[in-house]
Amino acid sequence: MQQEIVELIIKTAKELGDEELSLSQELNADTQLFGKDGVLDSMGLVTLIIAVEQAIEDRYEVSVALADEKALSQARSPYRSVTRLAEYAAGQMQDT
């Protein structure tokens, strides 16, 4: 499941395109998304999170809010990397 979501995040980012996300590189599982060395600014992160929530809803018919208190924490932020975000999303989906 988590690997599937990693791929879904990468696909979603690709569909949004460089213009929406101001990305200079294609994402992979290890890409640092946000924070130190992150490829996204805060608006890019918001845009990606909305799109990923909608992509998850479209594929798995489950509605999740990928909102998290620890967004700005270097150590624990679920937005730190693609893998971390996928892990977090999978956890949220299990909780619903």
Partner 1 sequence: MSAPVTLITGTRKGIGRHLAEYYCDRGHIVYGCSRGDPGWSRENYKHFVADVSNEGEVKPIFSAIRREHGRLDNLLNNAGIASMNHSILTPMDTVKKIMETNVIGSFLFCREAAKLMKANKYGRIVNFSTVAVPLKLEGEAAYVASKSAVEGLTNVLSREFASFGVTVNVVGPVPIETDLIRAVPKEKIEALVARQAIKRLGQMEDVVNVVDFFLKRESEFITGQSLYLGGV
Which residues have a Cβ under 8 Å from the Cβ of 30 and sit 6 or more positions away?
Answer: 81, 82, 83
Does 65 sit near partner 1 (CB under 8 A)? yes
Give the Cβ contact number of residue 90 at 10 Å. Answer: 18
Cβ atoms of 86 and 5 closer than 8 Å: yes
| Residues between 33 and 52 with contacts to partner 1, criterion CB under 8 A | 43, 47, 50
Nearer Cβ to partner 1, position 28 or 70? 70
Nearer Cβ to partner 1, position 39 or 53? 53
Site residues, partner 1 (CB under 8 A): 43, 47, 50, 53-54, 57, 63, 65, 67, 96
